[in-house]
Structure 1
Amino acid sequence: MFIPGFLIALATFPGVIVHELAHQLFCRWFKVPVFEVVYIRVGNPAGYVLHERVANKWHNMMISVGPFVVNTILGALIALPAALPMFKFDNPMPVDYLLIYLGVSVAMHAFPSTGDAKNIWEDLKEEETSLPVKIIGYPVIGLIYLGSLGSFFWLDLAYGVAVAVGLPNLIVALVA
């Protein structure tokens, strides 16, 4: 079933906002000036962060993949309080459904965009880029493009559900 990307972005706008906040957060950590941030909009891309060119190749890669780290962790943490009443006690309250929606929404926007992959690619093509950055960077680019291709088959939604439902459910099962 095909649903236009802008409708998915609107339905899961909290995840888009966190994705862009993650890029901005990593820019701030690495002291990279940010010129413009659009957290959500109707169009492609659904949001973006324009920042100064990053001289340090590791920092540039981390800014590009930052949403994967932030959205994954935050998506799981948001959904965690709803996991116990929803999956262990089978007694969810309306707020639990909201937390699961927010967790899935945030986690499903964890994948970096193909624009992020192109950003990394530009660094890897430069001769002065170190071998360790290239060794890590090329597979990262491949994974980003696989994730982008997989989103056509709802991989991003499956990832969001796995992080926001599967991971908290696993934690609850291990602890309880």
Structure 2
Amino acid sequence: MFIPGIFIAAVTFPGVIVHEFAHQLFCRLCGVAIFEVKYFQMDNPVGYVKHEAVRNPVHQLLISTGPFIINTLLALLIAFPAAIPVFLFDEGTLLDYMLLYLGMSIAMHAFPSTGDATIMWHTIWRGENVPVWLKIITVPITVLIYLGALGSRVWLDLIYGMGVAFGLPILIVKHFA
């Protein structure tokens, strides 16, 4: 079943907002000037952060992968307290289900875009005086981003969102129980 990406983005808009916020946060942490931020719009792209060219390749890696880090951690933090009563005790409240939706929608937008991967790749592989270790770790990260984009055609982003919001809390609780 085909569902347009703009519809998915509208339903899961909190994840888009957090994704763009994560890019913005890492720009600020790395001292990269920001020209424009669009947290959400009903257009393609659904959100973006325009910033100055990044001179430090490590900063570009952080800015490009920031949404994966921030969205994943925030989604887990939001969904964890709601997943326990819902999935372990079958006693979820409306608030619990809303938190699970919020966590899942945020986790669904954790994957960096192919645009993020392309900019990261060009900055690191075409930059001057880039350490070899950074080039080495950029290869699998770039491949994973492109695989994530390809996998989103078969709902990998939804599976990831459910895994972070529903699966991880259950695994954590069962591991420590």
> TM-score normalised by the shorter chain: which range applies?
over 0.9
Q: CA deviation at 1:127?
A: 5.3
1:45 aligned to 2:26? no
- Indicate if the aligned counterparts of 1:83 and 1:168 stay in contact, CA closer than 8 A: yes
- Indicate if the aligned counterparts of 2:57 and 2:127 stay in contact, CA closer than 8 A: no
C-alpha RMSD of the superposition:
1.0
SS of equivalent residue, structure 1 residue 35? strand
What is the rounded CA distance, in whole Å, between the counterparts of 1:6 and 1:131 in structure 2? 39
Alignment match, 1:121: 121
SS of equivalent residue, structure 1 residue 37? strand
Structure 2 stretches lacking a partner, 5+ long: none
Letter in 2 for 1:168: P
Q: CA deviation at 1:13?
A: 0.1
What is the rounded CA distance, in whole Å, between the counterparts of 2:154 and 2:32 in structure 1? 35
Alignment match, 1:175: 176
Alignment match, 2:27: 27
Structure 1 stretches lacking a partner, 5+ long: none
Percent identity reads: 59
Letter in 1 for 2:158: L
Residues 114-143 of structure 1 show CA distances to partners (whole Å, capped at 9, x for unaligned) of: 110111121133152321111011211111
Alignment match, 1:147: 148
Alignment match, 1:103: 103
- Indicate if the aligned counterparts of 2:79 and 2:166 stay in contact, CA closer than 8 A: yes
Letter in 2 for 1:147: G
What is the rounded CA distance, in whole Å, between the counterparts of 1:127 and 1:98 in structure 2? 44
What is the rounded CA distance, in whole Å, between the counterparts of 2:123 and 2:83 in structure 1? 41
Alignment match, 2:133: 132
Q: CA deviation at 1:163?
A: 0.3
1:87-102 correspondence runs (5 A): 87-102=87-102
What is the rounded CA distance, in whole Å, between the counterparts of 1:138 and 1:171 in structure 2? 31
What is the rounded CA distance, in whole Å, between the counterparts of 1:44 and 1:133 in structure 2? 31
Alignment match, 1:165: 166
Q: CA deviation at 1:45?
A: 1.2
- Indicate if the aligned counterparts of 2:75 and 2:165 stay in contact, CA closer than 8 A: yes
Alignment match, 2:80: 80
- Indicate if the aligned counterparts of 1:83 and 1:172 stay in contact, CA closer than 8 A: no
What is the rounded CA distance, in whole Å, between the counterparts of 2:44 and 2:140 in structure 1? 25
Corresponding pairs, count: 176
- Indicate if the aligned counterparts of 1:15 and 1:71 stay in contact, CA closer than 8 A: yes
SS of equivalent residue, structure 1 residue 152? helix
- Indicate if the aligned counterparts of 1:113 and 1:148 stay in contact, CA closer than 8 A: yes
What is the rounded CA distance, in whole Å, between the counterparts of 2:13 and 2:161 in structure 1? 13
What is the rounded CA distance, in whole Å, between the counterparts of 2:90 and 2:5 in structure 1? 33
- Indicate if the aligned counterparts of 1:88 and 1:172 stay in contact, CA closer than 8 A: no
Letter in 1 for 2:74: L
